[in-house]
Structure formats: C-alpha cells, structure tokens
Structure 1
Amino acid sequence: MNALLLVAHGSRKESSNTEVKQLALQMQRLTDGKFDLVKHGFLELAEPSIPGAIDDCVKCGATHITVVPYFLSAGRHVTEDIPEEIAIGQKNNPAVEITVSGYLGARSEIAELLIKAAVYAQGGRQ
C-alpha cells in the first residue's frame, strides 16, 4: 500500500494546523489512485509528529511512504530536521520503504501559482 505523507512545520495556532489537515484531505481526493492513503504530520508544535505520522501510515497498512515537505525553501528544516525525524520513523518501521519528494518551493509551478495569486488579489480570475 502506498501512502503520501504531507509534512508541514506545525503552529501554535490551531487554525493553521487545521489548514494542513484539510489540505491532506483534499489531496486524498486528488490522488487518482496513485496513493492509497494521504496523511499529514508536523515537524514541531503540533501532532502528529513526523515519526508518529509514519507510524499511523504503517498501522493503516502502508508498505511505502512518500514524504512531501510542505515548505517553500531549503532551509535547515528541509535539509536537516525533517530527514532526522524521518530517520526516527524509519528506525521504528524498518520494513517500510520511505522516500522524500522535493519540497514545495522547488517546484517550477510555484512562480505560476504566485502570479495567479497576485492577479486574483487585483480582482482578476485565477
């Protein structure tokens, strides 16, 4: 079973964490069968943690997990902290294959999305 794990920073503001949860639910509807399961996890300040979310995926039957960092740049969280947390989850679930996609900000589509947001703010259509 293939799982997608959306990883965000986490916030003290619960509404921000809820946005991530809602995004994961929306992604589940859009996977078009490419992933059997979409879960979310947080680096800090919210639950589930990244290792906890990996455990949740495994409990649901995942044998392969693709982690998608929901971050805009390759700062310390992307290059060090997230890999460290994934390593903990991997150690707890050695039989599961875990891969990590590029972080959100590395995608070429980001510039287009930002232009769409700016046009929308000016009263234009997306």
Structure 2
Amino acid sequence: MKALVVVAHGSRREASNDEVRELVARLDDSAGGTFSVVCAAFLELAEPSIPDAIVNVIDQGAGHVTVLPYFLSAGRHVASDIPAEIEKARVRRPGVEIRLAEYAGSSEAMLPLLLDLAIS
C-alpha cells in the first residue's frame, strides 16, 4: 500500500490550514487510486505534524510513503526542516520506505500555471 503525505507550513489562521486540507482531499480524488491514503501534514502551527502523519499512514498499512512538500522554494524548511521531521518518523517506524519528493515550486508545471494566473 502506498501513501502520500502533502506537507505545508501551517498557519495560525485555521482557514488557511483548512484550505490545504481541502486541496489535499481534491488531490486524493484526482489521484485515481495511485495512493491508498492521501493526507495533509504541517511543519508547524497545525496538526498533524509530519512525523505523526507519516506514522499514521504506516499504521494504516502503508509500506511506502511519499512526502510531497507543498512549498514554492527550497528554503530552510525544504532543505533541512522537512528532512529532519521525516527522520523522526523513520526512527518511530523503521523499515518502511519513506521518499521525499521534489517541492512543488521546482516543477516545470509551475511556469504555465503562473502565466495562466497572471493573464486570467
């Protein structure tokens, strides 16, 4: 069983966290069964934490977890903080493959998306 954990920063504004959760639910609907479980996790200020979300999907039966950073640039959070949080989950559930995907902003798909937003 494969799982996808989409990681966002987290906000003191709960509506922003809910926006991420809704996006992840739509992503789950669009994934067409590629992942058995798709969930949101947050680096800070919201729940679940990254390690808790990873452990949760593993406890649901995931043998492979992909962590997708929903960030636009490779700042400290993407380069250091998220990998450190993933390592906490690896310690709690050793032996499960946990893969860190590229962050959202690194995708070539961002260029047409940004252009589309600019001309809409």
TM category (shorter chain) comes to over 0.9
- How many residues get paired? 120
CA offset digits 1:27-85 (Å, max 9, x no partner): 11111121111011000011000001011111211110000000000000000000000
Matching of residue 14 in structure 1 with residue 14 in structure 2: yes
- In structure 2, what is the equivalent of residue 101 of structure 1? 101
- How many angstroms apart in 2 are the aligned matches of 1:88 and 1:24? 23
Q: Report SS of the residue matched to 1:4.
A: strand
- How many angstroms apart in 1 are the aligned matches of 2:71 and 2:77? 9
Q: Report SS of the residue matched to 1:88.
A: helix
- How many angstroms apart in 1 are the aligned matches of 2:31 and 2:90? 24
One-letter amino acid of the counterpart of residue 98, structure 1: I
Matching of residue 114 in structure 1 with residue 114 in structure 2: yes
- How many angstroms apart in 2 are the aligned matches of 1:63 and 1:72? 28
- How many angstroms apart in 1 are the aligned matches of 2:47 and 2:117? 29
Give the C-alpha shift of residue 11 in structure 1: 0.3
- Alignment identity in percent? 49
Q: Report SS of the residue matched to 1:40.
A: strand
Runs of 4+ more than 6 Å apart: none
Q: CA RMSD in A?
A: 0.7
Q: Report SS of the residue matched to 2:114.
A: helix
- In structure 2, what is the equivalent of residue 92 of structure 1? 92
Question: Structure 1 length normalisation: TM-score?
Answer: 0.93
- How many angstroms apart in 1 are the aligned matches of 2:26 and 2:38? 9
Q: Report SS of the residue matched to 2:4.
A: strand
